[in-house]
Amino acid sequence: MDVLTLSRLQFAFTIGFHYIFPVLSVGLGLLLVVMEALYLKTRLPLYHAMTRFWVKVFGLVFALGVATGIVMEFQFGTNWSAYSRYVGDVFGSALAAEGIFAFFLESGFLAILLFGWNKVGPKLHFFSTVMVALGAHFSAIWIVVANSWQQTPAGHHIVGTGTAMRAEIVDFWEMVLNPSSLDRVWHVFMGCWQAGAFFVISVSAWYLLRKRHHEFARVSMKIALVVAVIASMLQLVSGHSSAQNVAEFQPAKLAAFEGHYATDAPADMYLFGWVDESSGVVHGLKLPGMLSFLVHGDAGAPVTGLQSFPPELRPPVNIVFQAYHLMVAIGLLLIAISCLGLLFWWRKTLFDRRRFLWLLVASVLLPQVANQVGWITAEVGRQPYTVYGLLKTSESLSQVVTRGQVMISIIAFGLIYVMLFVLFIYLLNEKIQAGPDEQVEPERHRA
């Protein structure tokens, strides 16, 4: 493998692994705000125990997010220095804004969230929880804005020539509010809320099946189920809106979603399939004209196909096709599961349906997988570019970094991350097995 492939693999692996954790911080952050708000309103010890339990889990998740996140901040420079020179003026600003507005907020108030139970009053503690959740959301906004600029660049101009060529900001707000920012921030938020909600649902279902912490599990489950239903429904809306945005601004990516080759012909939508990239044929089960209908509201309207692009400017079609279809399938499944949960809750049978509860235990993996394949769809679909239409991935690489160096670092990342993952699951399992501390009365807060 050459240094380009290795660097791409390293980036994909390190960002994919990192992305397990921030989705949970954002999603759990929201749930913590709800739980602690309920405690402040009712002063029931149950809500206090609930908040404390999930704060402990949050602390573990956050630590892994920090440890793996710092890698991302440095990796643009270490492996992609040509890219860094090209985008620094634009992308760097968003990244620096993330540091100043989000990371400091999160890390500062996290200290109070984790260790401040006896140091501050309940209201200030709740305020800290809100600030940590807000910080996690701000962080998502800035990094998704930066990534969206790479998908649909706007508000910049290109100066210089050759290796000195680079993008410079002309209009900051046009860059921040580039055509895909809002859709994508919303899409990522919902993905995170789903991840957080199904995480809480899964652990609660486990307690119910094991007949432990009954009251705690029932109430946690209900809170998370409400969030899950809302997020899953809104995700359908944001997904549709994102796809329409891709159709308008990144037609090659949209065509790859459905393996649509014929140019200016109506496009079908596949329920599942396999793309033969050499012949441009998709084998699978399709809904004729459905993609045209979703994009243009007319099943007979033409959609730009991959044949409009020279082969070297097309993304790898089958990977994008599969990732996209898996994401959509999971999205629909999550709507079905959460609505079914709501129905059983309304019929008062939710907590007795053992098979459904087992399904809920497993459901924690679904949003995680959907978040991963969603990003694969977005990033592989943008190829061969790092900045769509402007800078190719092959032109983004560091000039001075050798194949041997990246080989060493990728192996080291592989070993370290496997170890971290095993330890994370082990410690998470210990926390879950230990369960919430329901006996502890809310401690006397210092006035």
Partner 1 sequence: MNLDLNTIWFIVIGALFAGYAILDGFDLGVGALHLFARTDVERRLMLNSIGPVWDGNEVWLVTGGGALFAAFPEVYATVFSGFYMAFMLLLFALIFRAVAIEFRSKRPGTKWRAAWDISFSVASIVSTLLIGIALGNIVYGIPLDTGHEFAGSFLSLLNPYALLMGVTTLGLFVMHGAIYIVIKTEGELNVKARLWARNGIIFFVLMYTVTTMVTLLYVPHMTEYIRVHPVLFAVPVLNVLAIANIPRQLHHGREFRAFLSSCAAVFALLALFGIGMYPDMVYSSPSAENSLTIYNAASSVQTLRIMLIIAAMGMPLVLAYTISVYWIFRGKVKVEPHSY
Within residues 152-191, the interface with partner 1 by CB under 8 A covers 159, 163, 166, 168-170, 172
Q: Is 262 helix (H, G, I), strand (E, B) or coil?
A: coil
Which listed residue (24, 33, 35, 112) binds partner 1 by CB under 8 A?
112
**Backbone φ/ψ region at 181: left (φ over 0), alpha (ψ -120 to 50), beta:** alpha
Looking only at residues 258 through 277 of this chain, which bind partner 1 when binding is defined by CB under 8 A? Answer: none
How many Å apart are CA 217 and CA 243, to the nearest integer?
A: 37
Provide the 8-state DSSP code for 91.
I
Looking only at residues 316 through 335 of this chain, which bind partner 1 when binding is defined by CB under 8 A? Answer: none
Q: How far is the CB of 198 from partner 1 (least distance, A)?
A: 24
Interaction of residue 127 with partner 1, rule CB under 8 A? no
Q: How far is the CB of 224 from partner 1 (least distance, A)?
A: 23
How many Å apart are CA 434 and CA 180, to the nearest integer?
A: 44
DSSP states along 126-168: HHHHHHHHHHHHHHHHHHHHHHHHHHS--SEEEES-GGG-EEE
Both tokens of 391, joined, read: 């800078």
Nearer to partner 1, 237 or 423 (CB): 423
Q: Which of 129, 108, 112 is nearest to 120 (CA)?
A: 112
What separation in angstroms does the CA of 406 have from each of 166, 393, 410, 413, 421?
25, 16, 6, 10, 22
Q: How far is the CB of 216 from partner 1 (least distance, A)?
A: 18
Looking only at residues 199 through 218 of this chain, which bind partner 1 when binding is defined by CB under 8 A? Answer: none
Which listed residue (1, 2, 43, 100) binds partner 1 by CB under 8 A?
100
Q: How far is the CB of 69 from partner 1 (least distance, A)?
A: 8
Nearer to partner 1, 59 or 384 (CB): 59
Nearer to partner 1, 301 or 407 (CB): 407
Contacts of 121 (CB under 8 A, 6+ apart): 445, 446, 447
Nearer to partner 1, 339 or 438 (CB): 438
Interaction of residue 421 with partner 1, rule CB under 8 A? no
Crossing angle of helices 181-209 and 20-42, in 10° steps, is: 70
Each residue of 269-298: b (16+ CB within 10 Å) or e? bbeebebebeeeebeeebeebbbbbbbbee
Looking only at residues 42 through 71 of this chain, which bind partner 1 when binding is defined by CB under 8 A? Answer: 56, 59-60, 63-64, 66-71
Which listed residue (1, 111, 281, 418) binds partner 1 by CB under 8 A?
111
Contacts of 446 (CB under 8 A, 6+ apart): 118, 119, 120, 121
Q: Are 195 and 27 in contact (CB under 8 A)?
A: yes
Interaction of residue 16 with partner 1, rule CB under 8 A? no
Nearer to partner 1, 301 or 401 (CB): 401
Which listed residue (3, 12, 15, 117) binds partner 1 by CB under 8 A?
117
Which listed residue (39, 47, 53, 109) binds partner 1 by CB under 8 A?
109
Give the interface segment with partner 1, choosing from 111-119, 301-309, 314-322, 369-377 (CB under 8 A): 111-119
How many Å apart are CA 390 and CA 153, to the nearest integer?
A: 9
Q: How far is the CB of 283 from partner 1 (least distance, A)?
A: 43
Which helix (H) or strand (E) covers residue 370, if one does? helix 365-380
* Kind of pairing between the strands at 391-392 and 385-387: antiparallel
Q: How far is the CB of 121 from partner 1 (least distance, A)?
A: 11
Which listed residue (401, 407, 414, 442) binds partner 1 by CB under 8 A?
401
Q: How far is the CB of 397 from partner 1 (least distance, A)?
A: 9
Interaction of residue 365 with partner 1, rule CB under 8 A? no
Looking only at residues 69 through 98 of this chain, which bind partner 1 when binding is defined by CB under 8 A? Answer: 69-71, 73-74, 76-79, 81-82, 84-85, 87-93, 95-98
Binding residue count for partner 1, defined by CB under 8 A:
71
Both tokens of 284, joined, read: 């699978």
How many Å apart are CA 236 and CA 15, to the nearest integer?
A: 25
**What are the φ and ψ backbone dihedral angles of 65, each rounded to 5 degrees?**
-65, -40
Which listed residue (237, 271, 412, 422) binds partner 1 by CB under 8 A?
412
Q: How far is the CB of 336 from partner 1 (least distance, A)?
A: 36
Interaction of residue 411 with partner 1, rule CB under 8 A? no
Q: How far is the CB of 246 from partner 1 (least distance, A)?
A: 28
Residue 79's DSSP bridge partners are: none
Nearer to partner 1, 333 or 401 (CB): 401
